[in-house]
Structure formats: structure tokens, C-alpha cells
Structure 1
Amino acid sequence: MQISIISVFPELYQPFLGTSLISRAIKQGTIGCQVQSFFKYVEPKERIDAPTFGHGAGMLIRPEVVERAVQDIESVHGTAYKIFFSPAGTKLDQKLLEHIYQQASEKKHIMLLPARYEGMDARVEAVYADQIISVGDFVLMGGDIPAMMFLEGMLRLLPGVVGKYESVTADSFFGPFVDYPEFCAPVVWKGLMVPEVVRQGDHGALAHWRRIQSVTRTLAHHFSWLRTHIAHKQDKALVLQHVPPHYVVLMHSQVMVGPERTIGTTSVTSIDIHDISRSSRTYGIQGFFVVTPLVDQQKIVTTFLDFWNSDVGIEYNQSRHNALQNTQLASDLEQVIDTITAAHGANPLLITTAARHYEHIPKVTYHDQSQVFAHNRPVLIILGTGRGLAPELLERADYMLIPVEGLSEFNHLSVRSAAAIILDRWLGINPV
């Protein structure tokens, strides 16, 4: 495979390409590598850049300079898969590396065009870019370091660069999980001991331990990656065993009611119980509680649940019975908390929900699962009926989830719709 790099500072690549596995691959002929300067394609004392049009400071690499460089190099090595680097590009991850590798392998020529200054003229990217890459949500002084990062990641996929290819396929992000921790001698260092399972020689026990470590590490730091790349049924079951137990409660008391938004109670509805129970089962919620202090409402819920747990209800609709198996009635929130605490030996972390923003309550977004999981406590998501949860209940929250919102100004979802969206954003699988 031929790699061509066109840079404002080609000298940056000399030590990078002259060391480690990439240097060995070049010497062995596994890859060819050419680094060229943009300055080669201008006359002496001619600038390679020009000021941006419009308001704002900054210089851009001129499009005709890029054109000359691309045409010159492709005339020697053939058509290349051309990669540009920009914070506005697609964020680089293992799946993107694999995709680019497959595409570039067909052409056998990759061209990297790292920019400097304010970047490239946008027309250059429109005409030439097969891929525009970002290495993260931050800005560097140029694209050379991202280009090196890309090469390190992509060349690991090329047979012959890394000695043992199984070392590549076992790496973090090659599947849904990151890598397990590794240890070497000495057995004890600074009072920290290598785990016995790593030293005892039981391959089955070691494989199991490594698997669990990979799962817990991923949950702790890379849940967003996991939920977009997990596919196998056994992997999902394993993750569910190690996610902190989650519960949902639907409050019909301690809620705001009426136009005056006074604290009161609301009536239970069978459709809410049906739909939230189904959502809860779908996303692995261990228990769904319906809270009402009203005796007549409690009788309605009890009659409803008794039917779906009876032989007649099971025979009538097995799926509905399965959805409602983990649904329970409670008279108040304290009963719910006590039930969860008794089951797990720890008070649940209370996460409230609301359609409005409350600035003084600690917030979590739908990307902050690791922050919540780190507490190592059960999680109770509290949903409100009526006009939302009462302030006294909101104040008890350990966290509040940011509101579910769309692009429009209208924001009046039913609680069952909001529950489904919340659970999907929090625990759902979202393949890419």
C-alpha cells in the first residue's frame, strides 16, 4: 500500500515514520510512504495560503495549490483515497478506521492532506475529499498530529505491520468492549498485587475474569460506544448483569395539578400502566412501580394487575403478562425506596424527570450514564403525571435528567411517550 502525505511541515513526519512498527513496515516493503511539501507546488516566494473571504481572521491553503499537489502525486502512484482532517469532520473511531481501510485497500493508495492555518478552502474538500476526519471535539494547530493518529490506527489493520494479527482483533473497540487490564512482574508493586486469577494458570477462570473486566471497564468509561456497537444476544445479557439495577416509578401523588399548579393527586390510567410496563421490560428495568395513595385507585390497579397475572390473563395475552410481571403498586415514594433498598442493600439514586429546566438541581444528560453508574447504587427514575413532579420531590433528586425536547416549541408529551423516549436514550441500543 502506498501512503502519500502532503503537509505544510513535512519535517514533522521524519521521526514518526522512522521509528517503531511503521519504520519496519516501510523497510520490509509492506508499505511505501512519500511525504511532500505544499511549498513544492508554488513558485519561490509565492504564498501557499490566502486570506479568508468575509469577516474573520485567518488564512486558508489555496485550492489551486492543493490541486497541483494531488495531480502530481496521483500521476505517479495512481488515484488515491484522499483524507482531509477537520474538527467538522466525522469523528474517528475503530469502525471508521476499518471502513477506510477497506475502501483504501481497493485503490492501494492513501493520500493524507493535513491542513494548517484556518484549514482548506471548502471547495477543495468538496472536490477531492473521500473522507474528512475529526479526532475529537477540540481544535489543534493543524492536521498533522491527527494524520499521524490515523496512520497508527489504520496501519495496525494492514497484515504484516503488527506481528500477531490476533493482537489487533483483541484490542479495545474492535468489538463492543474495551480491553481488560494486563499485568507483569513484580507480583507486588507499591502495595498493589497482581490478581490471583491472572497468576494461577486456570485458563477458563482467566478468560471469564477478563471478560467481566472488559464489560465493567466499558460501562465505567465507554457506555456510548458499547450501546452503538453491541449486537450479540449473549453480550447484551452480560451487560445487563453488570449495569446497576434500574427501576421506574410513576407518581400519581406529589404532582402538580390544575391551572393553578397546586400539589395534588391524579387518577391512574390503564394505558399508562400498559405502555410503561412494556417499555420497562424492553429496556431491562427490574421493577416498575405505580404510586397512588388513594384507596379506590389502589383497588383499580390491584384488579388490573391481578387479571394479567391470572391464568385467564396469561392465556389471553402472554406478552402482556410478561410485560406486567415486574409492575407493582405502592402507596407512596417511601415504600418504593424501602423496597429497592431491601432488595439491594443500598438506597437508590433518585433521578427525576421534567419537561422544564430547573437550574439548581444537578443535571445529567443522556451521555452521562458512566457518571451515574459510578455510584454503584440502584437507580430509580421518577416520572410525574399531571403537570409534573412537585418541587418538594424534585428537591430530593440526586440528579435530574435534561428535558426531552424536539426542535419545535411544543413540549407536551404524554408520560408514557416520555417514558419510552427516556428509557431508550438512557439504556437503548443505537447501532451505527
Structure 2
Amino acid sequence: MALVHHPVLDKTGATVTTAITNLDVHDLARSARTYGLAGYFVVTPISAQRAILDRILAHWGEGGAGRKRVPERGEALSRVRPVDSIEEAIAQIEADTGQRPRIVATAARSKGQAPVSWAAGSAALREGPTLILFGTGRGLVEETLASADLLLAPIRPGGYNHLSVRAAAAITLDRLFGDGDPDGGHGDGV
């Protein structure tokens, strides 16, 4: 999984770099740990943003004050891998596994290529290494979406669909790795 801060869109549709937030780093690391992901990449080419991320990770790393107080959180954050680009994340997965990962993009709305069902996305994860991309800001740029091997269907197919990246990632991981219906069946509950 990768949380992409660049290249992403702003509200005007321009390509920008968004800021790293402590909350996103923590929550996505905890989700990655919960669902057994091998790693969680945070993508930013900005050195000042990397310095913020390095400070967060040092606080929760081996010997850090945070890890001493809440070891489980430190363990989750040990999966975070800072990278400058999506390509660097792909290269790290290739180096670790010997295979190029399948790239799975997410978007709040269908754009460009036809999205696959959640069941198809879940099945694809069993075919080898996979990198799931989550965009910050207003989402991944068109070039990233177009170059992905798969585009997952939006969490909700129409209308209002503006979730935080933390909520979207948690829902996505649950649909792909959870025990329920990957296509969003809600059972008999409300």
C-alpha cells in the first residue's frame, strides 16, 4: 500500500504535492498492520516533508519514547517505508520479492479505464505482489490512474463520495482482505 502525496490533484485539478499528516501516517500504518500488509509506503519528494515523517518514525521506532509507551503502535509504524516516488516503491517491492508488483489504483469516482469489482480486486491480490495506491488531496493524477494495472471501483458508486484517505483506505483494505462480501454487502444490519 502507498499513501501518495505526489503527484496528486488539488481542488482546481492542478498537480501538486500535499503535506504529510501525523494522523494519516498513524492510521494507515495501523490499518496495514491489522490486515497483515508487508509494508506501507509514504510517497513524497519534498525533503522537509520527509524530515517530518522521519521524526514521527524515530519517536515510534526502536528505543523511541512512543514505542516504549505504546509498543503496538510502534510495531505498526515499523512497516512505514518513506520513498520519493511511486516508482521507488515499485522498485523496493521488486527488490524484496523478485517480481514487479501489480499496481492497483483507487479513486473516488470512475475515471478513464473501467474499474474492476471489489471481488476481482481481491482475487488479483492472490496473484502476486501488489501495490495499492491511495491519493491524498483530490486524488491521484490521471497519468497514475491510466498506468495502473487495475482501478478499483469507487467505494460508493454515485453521489457524495468524499471520504478522508484514512477512511477510504480502511474500507478498501476491509473489502479486499476482510471476511465479508468484497463488493460491499452489508448483511442484515443497519
- The answer to whether the superposition gives a TM-score over 0.5 is yes
Match of 1:412 among 136, 149, 162: 162
Q: Distance in 2 between matches of 1:346 and 1:362?
A: 25
TM-score, with length taken from structure 1: 0.40
Map 1:122-271 to 2 at 5 A: 248-257=1-10, 259-271=11-23
Q: Give the deviation of 1:310 after TM superposition.
A: 3.3
Q: Residue 347 of structure 1: SS of its match in structure 2?
A: coil
Match of 2:100 among 329, 347, 350: 347
Q: Residue 413 of structure 1: SS of its match in structure 2?
A: coil
Does the alignment pair 1:388 with 2:142? no
Q: Does the Cα contact within 8 Å between 2:122 and 2:177 map onto a contact in 1?
A: no
Q: Give the deviation of 1:252 after TM superposition.
A: 0.4
Identity of aligned residues (%): 39
Please report the RMSD computed on the Cα atoms of aligned residues, expressed in angstroms.
Answer: 1.8
TM-score, with length taken from structure 2: 0.89
Query: Of the two structures, which has the highest relative contact order with CA contacts closer than 8 Å and spacing of 6 or more?
Result: 2
Task: State the partner residue of 2:90.
Answer: 337
Deviations 1:180-224 (A, max 9, x none): xxxxxxxxxxxxxxxxxxxxxxxxxxxxxxxxxxxxxxxxxxxxx
Task: State the partner residue of 2:178.
Answer: 428
Q: Give the deviation of 1:409 after TM superposition.
A: 2.6
Q: Give the deviation of 1:419 after TM superposition.
A: 0.2
Map 1:2-13 to 2 at 5 A: none
Judged with a 3 Å threshold, the aligned counterparts in structure 2 of structure 1 residues 424 and 335 are, in CA distance, closer, same or farther, namely: same
Match of 2:40 among 288, 297, 302: 288
Q: Residue 363 of structure 1: SS of its match in structure 2?
A: coil
Judged with a 3 Å threshold, the aligned counterparts in structure 2 of structure 1 residues 370 and 334 are, in CA distance, closer, same or farther, namely: closer
Name stretches of at least 5 consecutive residues in structure 1 with no aligned partner: 1-247
Deviations 1:276-317 (A, max 9, x none): 111111111110000111110000001110110032222111
Quick one: which amino acid aligns to residue 368 of structure 1? A
Deviations 1:3-37 (A, max 9, x none): xxxxxxxxxxxxxxxxxxxxxxxxxxxxxxxxxxx
Judged with a 3 Å threshold, the aligned counterparts in structure 2 of structure 1 residues 415 and 430 are, in CA distance, closer, same or farther, namely: same
Q: Distance in 1 between matches of 2:49 and 2:87?
A: 18
Match of 1:367 among 100, 119, 135: 119
Q: Distance in 1 between matches of 2:129 and 2:87?
A: 15
Quick one: which amino acid aligns to residue 357 of structure 1? S
Q: Give the deviation of 1:265 after TM superposition.
A: 0.5
Q: Distance in 1 between matches of 2:154 and 2:20?
A: 23
Name stretches of at least 5 consecutive residues in structure 2 with no aligned partner: 182-186
Query: Number of matched residues?
Result: 181
Quick one: which amino acid aligns to residue 163 of structure 2? L
